[in-house]
């Protein structure tokens, strides 16, 4: 799927043809925009290194980029919990355990970086 749609007409979970779309689908263009800004920050870092900017100023910019990435991750995670995890809970059965374990592991990886 190469949908670039961001909202509005976004086919929802239950519309028939639809195969799978995850929670974050509804904010796709917002996410891509956010990631492009982060990409720009990383290119800015390359310029800073190239122009011999003072180390501490580079580190400050690294902190800003890391924070932006974490914040993107948090939004994605929130949508994941709201959709995928909640859906599994509603469906019942064993899936909720698997989903929760998977989400917790992902959070653990974020914490450890």
Shortest reach from residue 41's CB to its own copies, in Å: 9
CA atoms within 13 A on the CB side of 30: 11
Which residue from 9, 16, 17, 36 is in contact with its own copies, where contact means CB under 8 A?
A: 36
Asked if residue 77 binds its own copies (CB under 8 A), the reply is: yes
Q: Using the rule CB under 8 A, is 106 a contact of its own copies?
A: yes
Work out whether 101 is an interface residue with its own copies (CB under 8 A).
yes
Smallest separation, CB 6 to its own copies (Å): 10
Residue 26 in the binding site for its own copies (CB under 8 A): no
- When asked if residue 107 is in the footprint of its own copies (CB under 8 A), the reply is yes
């Amino acid at each position: 799927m190469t949908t670039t749609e961001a909202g509005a007409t976004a086919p929802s979970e239950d519309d028939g043809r639809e195969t799978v779309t995850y929670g974050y689908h509804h904010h796709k263009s917002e996410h891509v925009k956010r990631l492009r800004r982060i990409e720009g920050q990383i290119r800015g870092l390359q310029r800073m290194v190239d122009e011999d900017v003072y180390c501490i100023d580079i580190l400050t910019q690294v902190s800003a980029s890391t924070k932006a990435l974490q914040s993107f991750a948090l939004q994605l995670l929130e949508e994941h919990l709201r959709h995928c995890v909640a859906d599994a809970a509603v469906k019942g059965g064993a899936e909720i355990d698997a989903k929760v374990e998977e989400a917790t592991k992902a959070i653990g990886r974020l914490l450890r970086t």
